[in-house]
Amino acid sequence: MMIEFSGVHKRYDGGVLALNGIDLKIDKGEFVFLVGPSGSGKSTLLKLMIREEIADSGTILLNNYKVHCMKDRYVPFLRRSVGIVFQDFRLLPDKTVYENVAFAMRIVRKPARLIRRQVPMLLSLVGLSSKSNNYPHELSGGEQQRVAMARALANNPSVLIADEPTGNLDPENAWEIMRVLNEINLRGTTVVVATHAKDIVDAMKKRVVELEKGKILRDQRHGAY
């Protein structure tokens, strides 16, 4: 088992119940869409996976880490095993495309020779080999998101999570992002995507987990939105 939630509750300050008794298992190599209206708990679920938030009760396992009761000093090790793609890209504006991806490897002290070999491979995977010397402001939104995906893959994570990765993109670029995510999944990485993109979810026919008011309403293989 790659990811497992069991009896997970999360309530925010002010009394808002974000997750209410979540039970969810995601196996190695799966591609899962999290869908549901804003405020249904999708982002909270993703944040709990990387311990950006902490559950009030229940257990969360990810890559053999007991996330729900993990000591703070182990959190960086958990996050190195998970690639994270955000809606707003979060690229370093003063670094080139190559440097943005390489930075993720340097921060965990990967050897220079590995960086020189790995970064061009990742940029090729996301179709940006020709943009390696460009800066983020010189790229389209879709290109910036693909850089963010290459960076998320820099340390060979076993899980890639993406929170609304196509939210700021036009349809053409959104489909390109999904093509890359599907390619990443076919190479063996577990992919979990929170999205409102009904057309994409319907067309890709992956596993769909629908949340509403903090509960799982539906969990369907080869599902639609």
Alpha-carbon separation of residue 22 from 4, 9, 36, 91 (angstroms): 10, 7, 14, 32
| Token pair for 149 | 């995906």
Structural domain contains residue 144: yes
Per-residue pLDDT of the chain (225 residues; tens, 9 = 90+): 689 999 999 999 888 899 999 999 999 999 999 999 999 999 999 999 999 999 999 999 998 899 999 999 999 999 989 999 988 888 999 999 999 999 999 999 999 999 999 999 999 999 999 999 999 999 999 999 999 999 999 999 999 999 999 988 899 999 999 999 999 999 999 999 999 999 999 999 999 999 999 999 999 999 889
- pTM here is 0.92
Structural domain contains residue 122: yes
Sheet of 82-85: strands edge to edge?
82-85, 159-163, 190-194, 31-35, 207-212, 215-220
Structural domain contains residue 60: no
Structural domain contains residue 22: no
Structural domain contains residue 99: yes
The structural domain count of the chain equals 1
- Domain of residue 96 covers 92-156
Instruction: State phi, psi for 222 to the nearest 5 degrees.
Output: 50, 45
Structural domain contains residue 67: no
Structural domain contains residue 222: no
Structural domain contains residue 148: yes
